Amino acid sequence: MYKKIFYTIREHIFYGDTYLLNLTFSTPVKSSWSLEQMYHWARAPFMLLIKDAFICFSPERFVRIKDHQIEAFPMKGTADAWQCNAAQNLLESPKEKAEHAMVVDLLRNDLSRVANHVRVERFRFLEFIHRPQGDLLQTSSHIKGQLPCDWQNSIGDILWELLPAGSVSGTPKRKTSEIIQQVEHHNRGYFTGVFGYFDGESLDSGVLIRFVEKTSDGYLYKSGGGITWESCPHMEYQEMVNKIYVPLA
């Protein structure tokens, strides 16, 4: 099924409908632990538990707003940290470079719709994601812009302009989102949405990835990865599988 959908996306890329599409799947996983137990064991910058529904232990920030500055930290590009020359191979991969650059350009354009003086502060730096079965390397970037002094009065409009998150949809965003609805065979639900807090003065938010959902048949782990023209179906499938882990020792 994965390969069939992959080549359907490649056809859309060939005809210029999309340049980058984040393809996701739901994978059954087994655990004797409850969502609450998983949540209290997990460690991540952004965590959320909805009782009897799902947990999220996300490493990815959506946007942060503080002192009239809006910042985004897109994550794109993953490799097993234990592999030989993993960091060098990830940073020098033409496919990973292109995919990351497209996401950064998309988010830079998104921020430019709500902020002024938007700029890329750091481009493609490495971060570690810790897993029980071995660490992952992830490449991230840092984008910043200036909001008006009264941005709090239009926080809903700001978020609306930025959604869905570019790193979990693709580019161009609207057409790519339409293709995602056509080719994916599962309901994302809350997965790949965003969550956070706003105290009237500042906002911080995360992307709902690293996501375990409870169903009547057990647990589903939802994961995926970006597809571009340079993508290899086997490698993309393996990257998606590598992201599947329940946060237990």
Which residue among the candidates 76, 144, 222, 243 is catalytic per the annotation? 76
Residue 19, domain member (yes or no): yes
Render pLDDT for 81-109 as a digit per residue (tens, 0 to 9). 777 787 888 888 888 888 899 999 999 99
Instruction: Please give the C-alpha separations between residue 205 and each of 127, 195, 230, in angstroms, as whole numbers.
Output: 18, 5, 31
Out of 60, 213, 236, 239, pick the active-site residue. Answer: 60
Strand partners, 216: none
| pLDDT value for 127 | 81
The token pair that represents 40 in the structure block: 């209290």
CATH for 70: 3.60.120.10
Is residue 247 a part of any domain in this protein? Answer: no
Residue at 66 is within a domain: yes
Q: CA 139 to CA 124: how far, in whole Å?
A: 5
Is 76 considered catalytic here?
A: yes
pLDDT in tens, 135-191: 778 899 999 999 999 999 999 999 999 999 999 999 999 999 999 999 999 999 999
Asked whether residue 63 is assigned to any structural domain, the reply reads yes
Print burial letters for 59-79: b (CB count within 10 Å at least 16), e (below 16).
bbbbbbbeeeebbbbbbbbbb
| 60-71 pLDDT per residue, tens | 999 999 999 999
Q: Structural domain tally of the chain?
A: 1
| Structural domain that includes position 150 | 2-242
Whether 171 is covered by a domain: the verdict is yes
In this structure, is residue 85 part of a structural domain?
A: yes
For the chain, the farthest-separated pair of C-alpha atoms sits apart, in whole angstroms, at 50
Q: Cα separation of 172 and 13, whole Å?
A: 11
Residue 99 counted as domain residue:
yes
Does 249 reside within a domain? no
What does the pLDDT read at residue 21? 96
pTM, whole model, 2 decimals? 0.88
pLDDT digits (tens, 9 = 90+) for 13-37: 999 999 999 999 999 999 899 999 9
Q: Which residue has the higher pLDDT, 202 or 77?
A: 202
Q: Which two tokens stand for residue 86?
A: 């993993």
